[in-house]
Chain A
Amino acid sequence: MINLQVPIDEKTVRSLRVGDQVSLSGAVLTARDRAHKYLVEEFVEVSQPNDDERENLLRIEQRLQDGVIYHCGPVVKEHDDGRAEFVSAGPTTSIREEGVQAEVIERFGVRAVIGKGGMGARTLSALKEYGAVYLHAIGGAATFLARSVERVDGVVHRDFGVAEAMWEIELKDFVAVVTMDSHGGSLHDEVREASASSLSGVLASMGQAPVDKQQR
């Protein structure tokens, strides 16, 4: 198990390889579909951010520079005094952000993206170019992972809804596996290829046509 502390520098990130198990601590920002759309529309596609968003931008930049994005739509207990607590906080499917993740990594200097299911070729090449990794959290381990959320420091755009808001959280010993690294490695590609060849073997032993003979 490799300990990672946010902020993460480029050298550390580039030392990580596919298959490494990590334990991550420090400041993280949750962001899923609505938040990614917002980040791109407000801060990537425009040269000047909207005045109303300046303060949010500062907070986001501060968290994300050498920082971590977590694809997570949590269940949150919000107390009357304004405090918030993560009740349930597993990863959500990452591939939905494939269209914009590369831009967000570049714009904000993100060093790690946590999610589940892996991402595609565009993100993989952004990881390589800007020095970042994709960390696969344990899908569905929501209660366990919520215990790794030590504190909720605040929230940006609570109006997006509980699951879609950008929660500023502090993690302690959050467990994940590097499944895409900054050297072009992807565990998802490796397993897909290995399982495709196992599939051919299985089909052959069942007396069925092998995959490569089929018209795919």
Chain B
Amino acid sequence: MSDALTDLYEPLLELIRRTSTDLPRDIDEAMTAAREKEEPGSAGENVFNILLQNIEMSRAGTSPLCQDTGMISFYVHHPSGMSQLAFKRVAERAVAAATAENRLRPNSVDSLSGESVDDNLGAGMPVFHFEEWEMDEIDVHLLLKGGGCENVGAQFSLPDVGLGADRDLAGVKRCVLEAVHLAQGRGCAPGILGIGIGGDRMGSYELAKEQLLRSLTDTNQDRVLADFEDEMFERCNELGIGPMGFGGKTTLLGVKAGVRNRIPASYFVSVAYACWAHRHRRLVVSKGKTEII
């Protein structure tokens, strides 16, 4: 198995290259639609014009969509028997190689000394999430998430008396609106929200971030959450923060939510904010064939 994993070096390197330069189409389609809503000649409309050009330029060339190539996270679903250690080693090599060829910026900093390393590796870098499943495929979902948007993410512990948020869906909505209002344009709006309801602190954040791996056009299987997503999408855009926080009609391109059980004493709500440059792609390895989606 570990030999087979060595063969993943090239596909993983290609996955990083594509993710860094080629934004998923659902996002620029949402942006093209959003542009129509902004006032002609406004700063907001101009932001969309420039961002859409930027997306096309990066897609056609080799330069990273945004210079902050972010925290590198691999979400891996794999059959039993795949060595996670062997996977990590080959993924690390691919990360170092992608950094050497400028698809990733050297972005790994020693938190105590402040020293930056050249190959994007180091303690906790990159991030791996492994999940074994019953299928034969290996599914690698790569997320490159920049700091500007990561920094405006938020977590709430309900009840939140200050916000008037109780332990119910209305309270969750209050938290989401608060997070978007606090973020203003600083997460490089328009953004995409991943919301995690329940879990412990860590699980709640994890769940929120996993929602960001969904397609903007999918519909939540859970009817309650599907309605919640639609309502939050509409309500948050009514705040008028707009692209880059310049004011305008589109503050968010999408809202995705997930739920986990909690223990009676806790009720966490987590909001993960992804900037418009939401770079994520999948590599599917099936019967020796690889495909990047």
Residues from chain A with Cβ under 8 Å of B276 in the complex: 140
Most chain B CB atoms below 10 A, which of A87, A162, A188? A87
A62 at the interface (CB under 8 A from B): no
Residues from chain B with Cβ under 8 Å of A162 in the complex: 105-106
- The complex places the Cα of A73 from the Cα of B146 at a distance, in Å, of 13
Which residue of B is nearest A210, CB measured? B164
Residues from chain A with Cβ under 8 Å of B184 in the complex: 188, 191-192, 195
Instruction: State whether A139 and B188 are in contact (beta carbons under 8 Å apart), knowing that A147-B57, A199-B239 are contacts in the complex.
Output: yes
Which residue of A is nearest B275, CB measured? A140
Instruction: State whether A142 and B66 are in contact (beta carbons under 8 Å apart), knowing that A77-B102, A177-B43 are contacts in the complex.
Output: yes
Query: Is B246 in contact with A187, judged by CB distance below 8 angstroms?
Result: yes
Query: Is B177 in contact with A143, judged by CB distance below 8 angstroms?
Result: no
Residues from chain B with Cβ under 8 Å of A120 in the complex: none
Instruction: State whether A138 and B51 are in contact (beta carbons under 8 Å apart), knowing that A162-B106, A187-B246, A191-B241 are contacts in the complex.
Output: yes
A7-15, A40-48, A89-97, A122-130 - interface stretch: A89-97
Query: Is B64 in contact with A143, judged by CB distance below 8 angstroms?
Result: yes
Instruction: State whether A146 and B63 are in contact (beta carbons under 8 Å apart), knowing that A139-B275, A195-B240, A196-B181 are contacts in the complex.
Output: yes
Complex interface bits, B232-257 against A, C-beta within 8 A gives 1, otherwise 0: 00010011111011110000000000
Partner of A177, one of B53, B63, B163, B246: B246
- The complex places the Cα of A175 from the Cα of B46 at a distance, in Å, of 10
Give chain B interface residues in 73-106, CB to chain A under 8 Å.
102, 105-106
- The complex places the Cα of A138 from the Cα of B6 at a distance, in Å, of 40
**Shortest Cβ distance from residue B24 to the other chain A in the assembled complex, whole angstroms:** 15
Complex interface bits, A56-88 against B, C-beta within 8 A gives 1, otherwise 0: 000000000000000011110100000000011
Instruction: State whether A175 and B50 are in contact (beta carbons under 8 Å apart), knowing that A198-B238, A199-B177 are contacts in the complex.
Output: yes
Give chain B interface residues in 56-72, CB to chain A under 8 Å.
57-58, 61, 63-69
Query: Is A144 in contact with B50, judged by CB distance below 8 angstroms?
Result: yes
Query: Is B163 in contact with A73, judged by CB distance below 8 angstroms?
Result: no
Partner of B170, one of A92, A179, A206: A206
Query: Is A188 in contact with B245, judged by CB distance below 8 angstroms?
Result: yes
**Shortest Cβ distance from residue A162 to the other chain B in the assembled complex, whole angstroms:** 7
Residues from chain B with Cβ under 8 Å of A209 in the complex: 164
Instruction: State whether A88 and B66 are in contact (beta carbons under 8 Å apart), knowing that A93-B151, A143-B57, A163-B105 are contacts in the complex.
Output: yes
Query: Is A21 in contact with B46, judged by CB distance below 8 angstroms?
Result: yes
Residues from chain A with Cβ under 8 Å of B201 in the complex: none
B161 at the interface (CB under 8 A from A): yes
B196 at the interface (CB under 8 A from A): no
Query: Is A117 in contact with B185, judged by CB distance below 8 angstroms?
Result: yes
A19 at the interface (CB under 8 A from B): yes
B219 at the interface (CB under 8 A from A): no
Complex interface bits, B158-192 against A, C-beta within 8 A gives 1, otherwise 0: 00011110000010011001000100111010000
**Shortest Cβ distance from residue A19 to the other chain B in the assembled complex, whole angstroms:** 7
B203 at the interface (CB under 8 A from A): no
Give chain B interface residues in 91-133, CB to chain A under 8 Å.
102, 105-106, 116
A-B contact pairs, 23 of them (CB 8 A): A74-B67, A75-B63, A75-B64, A75-B69, A90-B67, A93-B151, A117-B185, A139-B188, A139-B275, A140-B66, A140-B275, A140-B277, A142-B64, A142-B66, A143-B65, A144-B57, A191-B184, A191-B245, A191-B246, A207-B170, A214-B162, A215-B161, A216-B162
Known contacts A93-B151, A136-B246; 7 additional CB pairs below 8 A are: A75-B67, A140-B68, A140-B146, A143-B61, A177-B246, A192-B184, A195-B184
